[in-house]
Amino acid sequence: MVKEKEFKGLNSEEVEELRKKHGYNELVKTEKPSAIKKFLEVFKEPMFLLLLGTAALYFILGEPKEAAIMLVFVAFVASITFIQEWKTERTVNSLRDLTSPHVNVKRDGEKKLIKSNELVPGDIIFISEGERIPADCEVLEASNFSVDESILTGEPEAVFKVTADEDKSDKSGDYWKKYMLYAGTLSIFGKCTAEVASIGFDTEYGKIGKAISETGDEITPLQKKTRALVKNLAIAGLILCVLVIIFSYLYSGNLIESILSGITLAMAMIPEEFPVVLTVFLSLGAFRLAKKNTLIRRIAAVETLGSATVLCVDKTGTITKNIMEVKYAYIDGRLIEVNKLSSKEFKKLMILSCEKDPYDPMEKAIVKVGEKDIDIKKLYDLDILEKVPFNSQTKRMANIFRKDEKMYVALKGAPATVLPLCSLTEDDEKSILKAMDNMADKGLRVLAFCESYSDELKENIEDYSFTFKGLVGLQDPPKEGVREAIEVCKKAGIRVVMITGDYSKTAEAIGKEIGLKFNNTTITGEDIDSMSEEGLCEKVNHCDIFSRVIPEHKMKIVKALKKNNEIVAMTGDGVNDAPALKSADIGIAMGKRGTEVAKEASHMILMDDNFTTIVESVKDGRRIFDNIRKAMVYILIIHIPIAAIALCSPIFNLPQILLPVHIVLLELIIDPTCSIIFEGEEAEPYIMEQPPRSPEEPLLTWKMTIKAVLQGTVMFLGAFLPFHYLVDYGYNVDFARSFSLMTLVVSNVILVLVDRSNTKSLFSIFREGKSKSSLIINGIALVMIFSVVYIKPLNSIFKTIPLDGKMLSLSILLAIISAAWWEIVKLFNNRIGR
């Protein structure tokens, strides 16, 4: 018993002194940025700075129309990014307190109800069932008091609390103590008196919050690649611009004209579509994912998920249902699956040994087994004479009923404490122990059941003569579709790692059931504590199951994987997962069961808590990045003939083919083409059958660059050579320009149809009829070029002349050849791929 002086509590003077020292029992929340500040933050990205720089360049060159177009792009793209990020921030707009708002406390010798943030260390508090624990406390007295600590430990089983003197498990080295109550956890039933030990950031919950705030946001792989690409393009543009000025001056001797030629080339070379494509693709990708129950909190996370090489998952609630289920039963000497259990008598015993309307997850699972066959209401009509509550030392409980004029005792508990109460032969005992070992190997939690009939109530439960009736094995089973989702991950080269606070055997059993690769080896939190940083980096390469871990261990595992150059995605739902979620390259929080702390620390949130949604999100991430690359290659291809024409006209002493107004026209065709058509393209069939990209792989590979150069060069020759030929043979310059412009635009239309897929043919778009945007955008492009060539008022603006039927047909044929020849290469590549 606890001495009376321990219940005295603090007086007002002591509270004030302690508050000066420790402050209030609360976590300091990060102030949410204003809408204006949030909008301005968008412009920190290099892509937006490039867009603004390009617009400024157009203004300096005296081209306000082009500058205006660029600023429209800036406003459009910035708005999409701002709206999406602001929307997701509002969804997770606050880090809610996990403590109850009020608590009963002993102050000035009286029991008072105060706000939980007013607690100080040393306060005596009184907790009843259903209340949140407001601070870390030491148990002074507990009456059958149990707590759900899954929000911290990740494990669903209720923990029965005892005083420090009664806690025999302290010697085991477990991090979470049975004599301690932890802030943010939930009391399930019973009552408890406790003394506040720590508050605010000093609590276990507070330490996790502090770890989150100290973990900085890292630049994503896509951002790194984008910055490198922008830098390389800027260098290439500068070099080409200088070369044009030098060679043009050497050829013509006219410095002003040479400078203007170099500036014209620079205008043609500036790929303002790159930042547009990157941001629009990721923003629209985030919108598409939101429709599939995936809320993106940071736009760049869309691509990062697609490049993930390791997926770290929390077992409870993520891999498993977080609902205990009875899987096996041992009865009449046989170990059977629970769905084959037919004994109604044993089912009645199971139900009668539990609480009526139980809180405990295991009791809920036990009662559920008998619901189909047993009339529970009728069973509960039995008069209950006495309850022997669960005790953390005896680890068993019993209910005593009046049945058929006798005392009927239904008892269940840990086999080690139940079997000694039963009369068993040596053979029976061996058989039972063997069944227990089999269940343990399957990672099941085993309970033993026995019953007794007596003519009278007895003082102690040990005084009854019990008959052993059977065992049941319980498990928190994997969610439907998890195994299949993990198989898809394996094919995609994504390794799945399970991190749990559960026991090693239970974790291994789940690992085998869901098909993890390294499922025979488990590393515990204790093992991690004894390892060096280098040793852990080596071990994580050959182990997919980590058990008995605490938040600090999860962070160490994620950091070790990242040091091995892995792109790490981590899923989680509890406060205990938050530091690792933020440390990972991409943290994925569960939307339904997930805590606000986990959501706040994550990069994306699964609104349906479905593990298979992660796999679909990975596929979408890969599709988006693949389409970004297609759009990038398209931009390079189409800019090559534009830049080459601007370069070759002064070199060959020809009139300018493309005037600034033509470049604006082409931009109006190119921008919606790359931003709309390629963005909505479906995933290639091989997208989830290839390994993740290497973190070192550039945004555009050499293979893609070579493709762009080959296709762009052919298109350049198709537009430039006829102009050269027609001018040399005396044709009007405007007529030759019309021919070349028509060829360039039509070849662009064909190019889009060719490059929209690496596997589908040019003609499949007409057979499928799915890509309406492609038909619409390309149709508009054709309308624009025909208007420029054949509408007289536009002829004077664009310096063009209508083409006759023969020349028009020749131009279109040349355009088709210039772009469609790549279909032969695709056909050859597809045959090699098959």
Given the DSSP bridges, would you call strands 406-413 and 136-148 parallel, antiparallel or unpaired?
A: unpaired
Burial of 554 (0-12, 13-18, 19+ CB in 10 A): buried
Tokens of 722: 């006829």
314: annotated active-site residue? yes
Specify the 3-state DSSP secondary structure of 364: helix
Q: Which residues pair with 397 in a beta bridge?
A: 412
Cα(412)–Cα(422) distance, integer angstroms: 12
Q: Which residues pair with 61 in a beta bridge?
A: none
In sequence order, what are the residues at sequence separation of 6 or more whose Cβ sits closer than 8 angstroms to the Cβ of residue 693? 307, 625
Whole-number Cα distances in Å, 834 to 228, 490, 498, 687, 821: 34, 21, 35, 15, 21
Q: What are phi and psi of 592, to 5 degrees?
A: -80, -55
Tokens of 4: 């009376």
Cα(680)–Cα(777) distance, integer angstroms: 13
Angle ∠(82,85,90) on CA atoms, nearest 5 = 115
In sequence order, what are the residues at sequence separation of 6 or more whose Cβ sits closer than 8 angstroms to the Cβ of residue 89? 32, 38, 297
Distance between alpha carbon 805 and the CA centroid of its chain, in Å?
A: 57
Instruction: Spot the catalytic one: 314, 620, 626, 755.
Output: 314
Helices marked H in 61-104? 64-91
Using CA atoms of 457, 458, 462, 467 in order, give the dihedral in degrees to the nearest 10.
-30
Cα(737)–Cα(430) distance, integer angstroms: 96
Is there a contact between 152 and 182 (Cβ–Cβ < 8 Å)? yes
Cα(304)–Cα(408) distance, integer angstroms: 62
Q: Comparing C-alpha atoms, which of 280, 262, 264 is closest to residue 58?
A: 264
Is there a contact between 162 and 206 (Cβ–Cβ < 8 Å)? no
Place of tokens 């239904």: 410
Cα(563)–Cα(271) distance, integer angstroms: 35
Is there a contact between 757 and 764 (Cβ–Cβ < 8 Å)? yes
Distance between alpha carbon 155 and the CA centroid of its chain, in Å?
A: 21
Tokens of 434: 């063997």
3-14 burial, b at 16+ Cβ within 10 Å, e below that, comes to: eeeebebbeeee
Specify the 3-state DSSP secondary structure of 452: strand
Q: Comparing C-alpha atoms, which of 326, 284, 329 is closest to residue 302?
A: 284
Whole-number Cα distances in Å, 271 to 262, 266, 630, 676, 744: 16, 10, 15, 17, 18
Please give the full DSSP string across 240-285, using - where no structure is assigned: HHHHHHHHHHHHH--HHHHHHHHHHHHHHH--THHHHHHHHHHHHH
DSSP class of residue 449 equals E
- Rounded to the nearest 5 percent, the helix, strand and coil shares of the chain are 55, 15, 30
DSSP class of residue 172 equals G
Place of tokens 């205008």: 267
Given the DSSP bridges, would you call strands 586-590 and 604-606 parallel, antiparallel or unpaired?
A: parallel
Place of tokens 């409980």: 397
Given the DSSP bridges, would you call strands 334-337 and 294-296 parallel, antiparallel or unpaired?
A: unpaired
Please give the full DSSP string across 465-521, using - where no structure is assigned: -BEEEEEEEEE-PBPTTHHHHHHHHHHTT-EEEEE-SS-HHHHHHHHHHHT-SS-S-
Catalytic amino acids?
Answer: 314
